[in-house]
A and B are shown apart, each in its own frame.
Chain A
Amino acid sequence: EIVLTQSPGTLSLSPGERATLSCRASQSVWSTDLAWYQQKPGQAPRLLMFAASSRATGIPDRFSGSGSGTDFTLTISRLEPEDFAVYYCQQYGSALSITFGQGTRLEIK
């Protein structure tokens, strides 16, 4: 099973600042098989990015993704109040199992 480790666990920033979230895999992941989700309290996760760097439908361009191999990054260029949430990375390419990271909580400073 591919283990995904996200850092930091909690990120405290102010609106307007830049957020950089990391996802590290225990073994190499194809870029085509890496996604990011946003989850707010009481809601289902929302797909933000797929194939590491492709934005899902309706996702604003302040969200961007990058990375390859074992290291992937989600960047939010200028934080809006609605961006404060928990973010999960996911790999869906393993023939054995789909896995999620433990999440990064983005909170208002």
Chain B
Amino acid sequence: QVQLQESGPGLVKPSETLSLTCSVSGYSISSGYYWGWIRQPPGKRLEWIGSVFHSGSTYYNPSLRSRVTISVDTSKNQFSLRLSSVTAADTALYFCARGGRGPHDYWGQGSLVTVSS
């Protein structure tokens, strides 16, 4: 069974960088698929942030591209999100999931990140 688990700080100060890691078990990232990040601000719709292939190739939501970096570490079977220059508008529940050039079929439980001083 494929399982994903987000980890990282729950509180980030404005203008700083948000960093989250997704640990994958039950499936080797090296075997394929895109792996992505999706967020959900309180009471709002889901927003795709970006996805990374096991080779390291990425594609991002154009509205966030200038601030987003997604990377993969196949040796640890993890992938990571960095979002720079955060503001209160980046406060959200952040999910990692398998998928990108296809539907997102496995999801983590989500990690709440609050941007506040």
Contact of A44 with B110 at beta-carbon distance under 8 Å, contacts A96-B62, A99-B48, A100-B47 already known: yes
Contact of A47 with B45 at beta-carbon distance under 8 Å, contacts A1-B62, A96-B62, A97-B61 already known: no
A88's contact among B46, B62, B105, by CB below 8 Å, is which? B46
Assess the B45–A102 pair: CB atoms within 8 A: yes
Residues of A in contact (CB 8 Å), total 22
Nearest CB in chain A: distance from B39 CB, A:
11
Residue interface mask B87-100, A partner, CB < 8 A = 1 = 00000000101011
Residues of B in contact (CB 8 Å), total 22
A interface secondary structure, majority: loop
Nearest CB in chain A: distance from B53 CB, A:
14
Question: Which A residues from 64 to 109 make CB contacts under 8 A with B?
Answer: 88, 90, 92, 96-103
Assess the A45–B107 pair: CB atoms within 8 A: yes
Spell out B's residues near A (CB within 8 Å).
36, 45-48, 51, 61-63, 95, 97, 99-105, 107-110
